[in-house]
Amino acid sequence: PDALLMLLEEANIPSRIHHPNVVPIVDIGSDANTRYLVMEYVEGCSFHELLRKSRDERPLPSILTIIIDSLRGLHAAHELTDLDGEPLGLVHRDYSPQNLLVGTDGACRVIDFGIAKISARLTHTRAGVQKGKIAYMAPEQIASAKEVDRRVDLWAAGVVLYDALTGEHPLRGGNDGETVTNILRKSFRPPSEVGLQPPACFDDICKKAMSRRRSERYATALEMADALHA
């Protein structure tokens, strides 16, 4: 039953987000006792696959286009309102390379809002249950599932950007426990000093997106997209 409710929510949320950088849900159907979603087909692959196949060469224009696209789609989701125009407070909570689809048209689209949090949702996440990929979770997301807002997605975007630019994850440890400890406490080197050593102009962007103080992060995904565009 929990999985079915999550499936229905995943269909409900993207169906109300009308943006070229979000994969829309076309329909939801059933076959005997099976429910399924019909999504717009994206010819291409995930950003995760692209990064895995391009470990030693990461062309900056391509990386920036993909992440800027995803941030604009994310912003559209964050700004979603109800029929009365009241903000729904949607948070993706699982922004990661696996959930960014890159089409052969070069455009990036965000998928998988199934674990997103809406403050006024009909069902509620069970207390103490964390959802998402640990390596991309913000500190407050790990510490308390109740205290999350759109800035956890901006932390994740900073991690994805850092990883994509350098070829190295800034905080991943040898196991989940070590990764959690790193996220909560460990400092990370500027991307310009790590791995593929991208230009230093990205150092401050990653630092701001991945600040452990939420108030020091970008206020919106669009603000971060504009910084990358500049």
Q: 3-state DSSP call for residue 16?
A: helix
Q: Which of 27, 56, 94, 163 is catalytic?
A: 94
Whether 94 sits among the annotated catalytic residues: the reply is: yes
- Looking at the chain, how many residues does it have? 230
Contact 90, 118 (CB under 8 A): yes
Q: Which helix (H) or strand (E) holds 205?
A: helix 203-209
d(CA 133, CA 34): 26
| Rg of the chain over all Cα atoms, to the nearest angstrom | 17
Contact 154, 206 (CB under 8 A): no
Contact 101, 109 (CB under 8 A): yes
Enzyme catalytic residues: 94
